[in-house]
Structure 1
Amino acid sequence: MARVAMVNGAARGIGADASVRLAEHGLDIALIGTDEEAHADTVLRIAGAGRRCLFVESDVTDAGSVEAALSRVCAELGAPGVLLNCVGAVGRGPLHELSDEGWAETVGDPLRGVFLTSRAVIEPMIKNGGGRILALADVAGGEPSGPGRDSVVETGLAGFVRTIALELRPFGITANVVAPELSVADLSGSPAGGGSAYAAEVVDTVRFLADEASAAVTGQIIRVAMTA
């Protein structure tokens, strides 16, 4: 039976490309999110790679919704051996103008989504002898008014994966962050369609960390930077 990856944040951009690359590497893909139509192109690309793909509507900031999504994924594709959360930059104006609700949306919600989805997959991963928990932290670009909050999100992701990496290592579960140093808007096209070599390196890093051969790499932030 093929391994299964559950992916949050794959409607477009580098998150979609990473999902397709995992499919090309032989994984079946469960896409979770709130907008099925926005994920339609990603579903088609994964199907074009010859893998099964399931979209499950889910609010990843709601624990009950995440658990329901996981139950459906397990029933229709199998228990996920890979979890990928794609976290993008969200600008909401300067800090002194930011409301409590704005702070929760730009910082609290992304981190809560990573926490809830990670917590949900741990038990099935332990039962199956291991797994890979990944975050694609595409927050380096953002809007000029919001780099501080994006740094908070990336730092929060780093601390989270380092903590759970220590806790989960005895069970064969790794946790890592891939941190591109450009925003999705700066990535020229899809690597699957002849886009930039930089974008391809980002998704190939995700693919490597999702592989069973990456068992020795855990608790890391791996930065992928354009060098030329």
Structure 2
Amino acid sequence: MSDITLNAPKLFDLSGQVAVVTGAGSGIGQRIAIGLAQCGADVALLDRRTDDGLANTAHHIQATGRRSIQIAADVTSKSSLGDAVARIEAELGALTLAVNAAGIANANPAEEMEEEQYQTLMDINLKGVFLSCQAEARAMLKNGGGSIVNIASMSGVIVNRGLSQAHYNASKAGVIHMSKSLAMEWVDRGIRVNTISPGYTATPMNTRPEMIDQTRLFEEQTPMQRMATVDEIVGPAVFLLSNAASFVTGVDLLVDGGFCCW
């Protein structure tokens, strides 16, 4: 052992850190944003939603005693993201942590898919992650480093049985490899970049009443015989962002209930 004085629990402490979470108005992004606040971070909440999703996230963060700000922004807009980062640093302080969870999902047979459907998804899921990382890293490089976690999907590793979503699968595979590439570009300048690839997760999108038959199949196909809860994505995110993962970069962490083992 090199340092027996190491305080292991404090490795996961995010106190004093400023984070941004895209897609913070619902689902995985919302729960991760709250989780980061519970671990001590102040959190900027970014989403293009027009409902009360961001306000709900902010309400839960307020209960932790941490600060948050709500930012309506489009991840496909470079200028919008640049303005968002500038506001974050002006109101919360130097940006050091980021989780890019904004994304969409839909399906259509490849031979029937319109170009607009393909391009819209790729713009949000892949271009949006790149532009988010770019804006965040520019601040982090100035601030001496940081950690970025991009939410990908097991669909970037395998092809989901019964789902016609070639564009979605390709976008998530792109997020994984792009994140590895960015990790290597910034590895000697203090920025770590990793991805989380969730398996089937009980988000509002996957638990709609009309999804009940599809949900049953998701559970049957997963070795653990259930979907993940959004709570189960928080721990992996905190780990990758924290000092507990100080020697971890360019990694894709599968959180899939064993799905990719079969």
TM-score scaled by length of structure 2: 0.76
Structure 1 portions without partners, runs of 5+: 188-195
Distance 1:89 1:69, change over 3 A: closer
Deviation track 1:92-114 (CA, whole Å, cap 9, x = no partner) reads: 42222221111111223221111
User: Which segment is superposed worse, 33-42 or 162-171?
Assistant: 33-42
Query: Would you tell me which structure has more strand in proportion to its own residues?
Result: 1
Superposed CA RMSD in Å reads: 2.5
Decide whether the 8 Å contact of 1:92 with 1:106 is kept in 2.
Answer: no
Deviation track 1:78-100 (CA, whole Å, cap 9, x = no partner) reads: 12111111144511422222211
Q: Is 1:80 matched up with 2:98?
A: no
- Aligned partner of 2:82 among 55, 62, 67: 67
Tell me the secondary structure at the aligned position of residue 238 of structure 2: helix
- What residue number does 1:40 align with? 55
- What residue number does 1:93 align with? 108
- What residue number does 1:212 align with? 243
Distance across 2 between alignment mates of 1:220 and 1:80:
22
Larger radius of gyration: 2
How many residue pairs align between the two structures? 220
Tell me the secondary structure at the aligned position of residue 79 of structure 1: coil
Q: Is 1:133 matched up with 2:148?
A: yes
Q: Deviation at 1:46? A: 1.0
Amino acid at match of 2:149: L
Decide whether the 8 Å contact of 1:88 with 1:138 is kept in 2.
Answer: no
- What residue number does 1:161 align with? 179
Tell me the secondary structure at the aligned position of residue 203 of structure 1: helix
Decide whether the 8 Å contact of 2:104 with 2:125 is kept in 1.
Answer: no
Q: Is 1:225 matched up with 2:225?
A: no
The percentage of counterpart residues that share the same residue type is 30
Distance across 2 between alignment mates of 1:7 and 1:101:
27
